[in-house]
A and B are shown apart, each in its own frame.
Chain A
Amino acid sequence: MNSIVLAVVGVAMMILGYLLYSKFVARRIYKLQDSFVTPAHELGDGVDYVPTNKYVLWGHHFTSVAGAAPIVGPAIAVIWGWVPAFLWVTLGTVFFAGVHDLGALWASNRHQGKSIGSLSGKYIGHRGRNLFLVVIFLVLLMVNAAFAVVISNLLVGTPTSVIPTWGAIVVALLIGQAVYRYRWNLAVVSVVGVVALYALILLGDRFPVVLPETVLGLPANAFWIVVLFVYAGIASVLPVWMLLQPRDYINGLQLFIALGILYGAVLISAPTVVAPAFNESVPAGTPSIVPLLFVTIACGAISGFHGIVASGTSSKQLDKETDARFVGYFGAVGEGLLALGAIIATTAGFRTIADWEAVYSAFGQGGVAAFVQGGASVVNSGLGIPPSLSATILATMAVLFAATTMDTGIRLQRFVVQEAGHIMGVTIGKVVATLIVLAVAMGLTFSAGADGSGGMLIWPLFGTSNQLLAGLTLSMIAVILLRKGRPVLPVLVPLVFLLVMSVYALIVQLGQFWAAENWFLLVLDVIILIAAVWVIFESAIAMSQARKNPPELDEEPLPSTAGRDRSL
């Protein structure tokens, strides 16, 4: 099987999904209208509500939702063979993620740009809103823990990525200074920043940094995990203009470049897919494909996190309601393309099936390391870049994605801790809140041993929480559609599928954690299971009530329940 077929068929499916299915959904289900005055115009304040060009907004949306997760998930899931991962990513993007992301954008746009949390309070009730907060807290917690392990494994496995990884922070700090202090031209700064980043990649490739087996009494990867948490803690309390903003920016540019490199290399070299279509001899201990595939690949197929971005910022910037189709649905397609790239790299980037099986020797063994190894081979044969340098480029790309998500995740969770303290009548300072967040995330990471393997054990749990979040958003969209008397099947099918798979996966994992006597993850699993049952319960009640309530007329704007939402 030639990987170019995989790339062409996959891209064609997603593009056709955008051209045909999204048109159907936008016209018949969400009924997007150019004449609708969007919140960006109605409530324009120059801060949150700003009409934005749809291509720029797509750029924001896409780079905000795309992180390391669409690489990690597929890179683990190909252990069951490339066909299941390919089908779930392509069909998931077209029929699940696109409908979900576009729906979240539409629902928020029709309600003064309110966040999904706020809307779930209105449509699913106050319990629905609390539930939303619980699930988002769990997702953020697991992102921080899992991504720290992903990065540390990459730094140990690809020592050439150490210099560009830490050097990127210096580049970002300099960009921040150049833009705000010296007011340099941004286009020039962007070019210089990207060139500097790639110069660091060249430097890193020349001077790999290999740590001794133990540093300060810690294994090398545990040492990196601790350093990463310390860094992320500091980064999250620094003024955003100094580090987070330029880091997000340079990472966004890097995303487009890296995607171009990967797909360009595939098109030129057209490597053969050596991995089996369906792996019938999975390593011992690999869980069943159903339901684990559908939570192992969350981002890249469907992700609840997208709803937060869509309703938190993107909906407030829509110039025209019809732009939602391009921004929301095509944003999901962008992430699907990243996941497809990861599938191709991890299945076609190996010379023989024996090489592939050596990497995928146990469940969770492939992951980002396989993406870097396989992707490097593809880039090398396609663009002629030396294998080591190709690996450094891809490892740096994955690290930057994971690290920027981690920085933001810790910052967001700090706000949640401070807010929780406020509710309990305790004022928690910035530093103390950050320390609490770091302590919990590190506890989770090291819950299964000093090597930080707990961070990867929770990966499917992260997927489950993310799918629950998506389920919550879909159920809210379904309720709105029912209230409007519109067809609900395109939303209901993904919703039911996600909830069934999530609960099933949680029960399977419960057994695994019980057998491994990992009580910490077992408790976490039980919490998410309770949340899942709760989501199902609340969704069913809300939908049943929605059918009984009088229909909402499209022409009449819905009454606002509260002031302008600024929670997310």
Chain B
Amino acid sequence: MSLPERWRTARARLGAGLREFYAAPYRRTFARAQRDEEDLFMMLVLSEALGVPNPASYYTVELLPVVYDRFHDWHRRMGMERSPLEHISCC
């Protein structure tokens, strides 16, 4: 390996190490924050179905098929052991 290549590799390694050193201790915190945000988004999308009037439902209804896959995990995280919606019998 030539000297410039070695230098580039060393620099890349140092950069990766620094990024890891910066990010890793808080990775879990960010993952949790992202999940909380997604949970809130799920609630907005499903609000009309749950009986909460939502002025944005005209737009969010299109997203329902997209969020169905995540619905089961979501309702369990929200403290509902069984699906709260009759038309979605995920469990």
Contact = CB atoms under 8 A, between A and B. Distances in A.
B17 interface: yes
A249 B21 contact: yes
Pick from A56, A244, A566 the residue with the most CB of B within 10 Å. A56
A187 B22 CA distance: 11
In this complex, the interface size class of chain B, counting residues with CB under 8 Å from chain A, is 10 to 19
Given A187-B14, A190-B18, A52 B25 contact: no
B58 interface: no
Contacts of B21: 56, 59-60, 249, 252
Interface string B41-84: 00000000000000000000000000000000000000000000
B87 interface: no
Contact of B27 (A47, A59, A239): A47
Given A52-B20, A186-B22, A241 B14 contact: no
Interface in A38-59: 47-48, 50, 52-53, 55-56, 59
A55 B22 contact: no
Interface in B11-42: 11, 14-15, 17-22, 24-31, 33
A64 interface: yes
B28 A566 contact: yes
Contacts of B22: 179, 186, 245-246, 249
Given A47-B31, A186-B15, A187-B14, A240 B20 contact: no
Pick from B11, B14, B21, B27 the residue with the most CB of A within 10 Å. B21
Contacts of B25: 60, 64, 245, 248, 313
A475 interface: no
Nearest to B29: A240
A187 B18 contact: yes
Contacts of A60: 21, 24-25
A548 to B, nearest CB: 38
A520 B25 CA distance: 36
A112 interface: no
Contact of A52 (B15, B24, B26, B30): B24
A52 B16 CA distance: 11
A322 interface: no
B24 A187 contact: no
Contacts of B27: 47-48, 50
A252 B18 CA distance: 11
Contacts of A56: 17, 20-21, 24
A186 B14 CA distance: 10
A261 B18 CA distance: 21
A interface, over-half SS: helix
Contacts of A55: 17
Contacts of A239: 33
A445 B13 CA distance: 45
Contact of B28 (A48, A64, A187): A48
A47 B18 contact: no
A317 interface: yes
Nearest to B20: A56
A543 B19 CA distance: 43
A317 B15 contact: no
Given A53-B20, A252-B21, A240 B15 contact: no
Contacts of A185: 15
Contact of B30 (A190, A241, A248, A566): A241
A52 B24 CA distance: 9
Interface in A54-73: 55-56, 59-60, 64
Interface string A228-255: 0000000000011100111011001000
Interface string A8-22: 000000000000000
A60 B29 CA distance: 16
B15 A245 contact: no
B39 to A, nearest CB: 16
A199 B10 CA distance: 29
Nearest to A248: B25
B20 to A, nearest CB: 5
Contacts of B17: 53, 55-56, 59
Contacts of A53: 17, 20
Contacts of A187: 11, 14-15, 18
A59 B14 CA distance: 13
B26 A245 contact: yes
Contacts of A64: 25
Contacts of B29: 240
A186 B18 contact: yes
Interface in A474-518: none
A185 B26 CA distance: 19
A252 B33 CA distance: 24
B84 to A, nearest CB: 20
A190 B30 CA distance: 21
Nearest to B34: A47
A244 B27 CA distance: 13
A60 B21 CA distance: 6
B18 A317 contact: no
Interface in A127-147: none
Interface in A305-357: 313, 317
Interface of A: 47-48, 50, 52-53, 55-56, 59-60, 64, 179, 185-187, 190, 239-241, 244-246, 248-249, 252, 313, 317, 566
Interface of B: 11, 14-15, 17-22, 24-31, 33
Given A52-B24, A240-B26, A240-B29, 4 more contacts: A48-B27, A48-B31, A56-B17, A190-B18
24 contacts: A47-B27, A47-B28, A47-B31, A48-B27, A48-B31, A50-B27, A52-B20, A52-B24, A53-B20, A55-B17, A59-B21, A60-B21, A60-B24, A60-B25, A186-B15, A240-B26, A240-B30, A241-B30, A245-B25, A248-B25, A249-B22, A313-B25, A317-B24, A566-B28
* 10 tightest A-B CB contacts, nearest first: A47-B31, A56-B20, A245-B26, A56-B17, A186-B18, A249-B22, A240-B29, A47-B27, A240-B26, A59-B21
